Amino acid sequence: MLTPSQISDFQSLLSQSKKIAICTHYNPDGDAIGTSLALRTYFTSQGFEVNCVIPNNMPDFLQWLPGADSIINAQKQFKDIKAIIKEADILFLVDMNAEHRSGVDVEKVLLETSAFKVLIDHHPNPTAQSHLIYSIPEISSSCEVLYRFLSEITTQQFLNQEIGTCLYTGIITDTGSLSFGCNNPETYKLLTKLMELEINGEDIHRNLYDNYFESRIRLLGLCLNSLKVFFELGTSYMYLTKEEMINNFFKEGDTEGFVNYGLSLKGIIFTAFFTERDKRIRISFRSKGDFDVNKFARTYFQGGGHKNAAASYHYDTLENTIKYFEEVIHKHNELVI
């Protein structure tokens, strides 16, 4: 919770500010976009000039969210983003615990700005250079953290259908449709408040999960065909090559959720999903129960995230990366079940 002096100081800052910028992490997901757009909607309603910026393309299945067409993409409008962040009075960093998660180019801009920085996040160990840090790692999503933040800085009713739709989207996507990271009564109390706004949860689910292109389904088939399982270690992994992704017209967001299939096997507590990119391999980690993939990612791949969901990049070939992963899981004593 914020202290009374922090609330007073921030409210005073708002009274003197006109321009707000909101930035999130590279490869933005439902929680990142939901938090950004909920913030934008609220502060726009309060008379501020608000801009949401993202480091690269957002997934197609999030384009329906209210306000999504206003988001500015650094890959397409980098000069505009530099100016927006430079001229901002207040800069919100959402759903990322460090500036480097925005990518090399945007990170430099974030570090150079003189704007008052506010961090809204739920990842552990925040290191972002922020004047105000509002981070709760135990909470389901940054959208839920944002709800708590707005509840503290204003006594007004701020929830409406647009904000509620964005918050609901972030919670649902970051918990795998309430299948992990959501054993908290407060999460369900918030969802109840959102449903009372007459948000259509069924429509949101269809927009998120029944709105894919054929290319995604074909990629999923290739991914599942690559499955390798080490039952004695409670481990599985899958991968997609760069060639497979190109041949199937890959777009950002097409592989969202693929990693979870490797965790759906009986007896498996840990899984990894490798995608081959230019000069690097992106790895997504997921786990069940007490196995800490955040610790695993930090120890062996210089990555990080949450206890049961983490990610990293590895700068080697796909073949060498998978070989290294297999070596690591055989010596990592926490995997013995």
pLDDT in tens, 53-104: 999 999 999 999 999 999 999 999 999 999 999 999 999 999 999 999 999 9
The pTM for the full model equals 0.90
Contact between residue 128 and residue 117 where contact means Cβ atoms under 8 Å apart: yes
Residue 213 predicted with pLDDT over 90: no
- Chosen CATH of 214-335 out of 3.10.310.30, 3.40.50.300, 3.10.580.10, 3.40.190.80: 3.10.310.30
Q: Report, as an integer, the average pLDDT of 12-30.
A: 96
What CATH code is assigned to 4-208?
A: 3.90.1640.10
Structural domain spans, the chain: 4-208, 214-335
Element (H, E) at 281: strand 280-287
Residue 29 predicted with pLDDT over 90: yes
Q: Report, as an integer, the average pLDDT of 127-139.
A: 95
Band of pLDDT at residue 253, cut at 50, 70 and 90:
confident
b/e sequence 123-140, b meaning 16+ C-beta within 10 Å: beebebebebbbbeeebb
b/e sequence 227-261, b meaning 16+ C-beta within 10 Å: eebeeebbbbbbbbeeebbeebebeebbbbbbbbb
pLDDT of 337: 46
Residue 244 predicted with pLDDT over 50: yes
Task: Tell me, yes or no, if the two domains 4-208 and 214-335 fold the same way.
Answer: no
From the CB of residue 202, how many other CB atoms can be counted at a distance below 10 Å? 8
pLDDT in tens, 83-97: 999 999 999 999 999
Q: Report, as an integer, the average pLDDT of 228-248.
A: 96
Query: In this structure, what are the phi and psi dihedrals at residue 158, rounded to the nearest 5 degrees?
Result: -110, -15
Mean pLDDT over all residues of the chain? Answer: 94
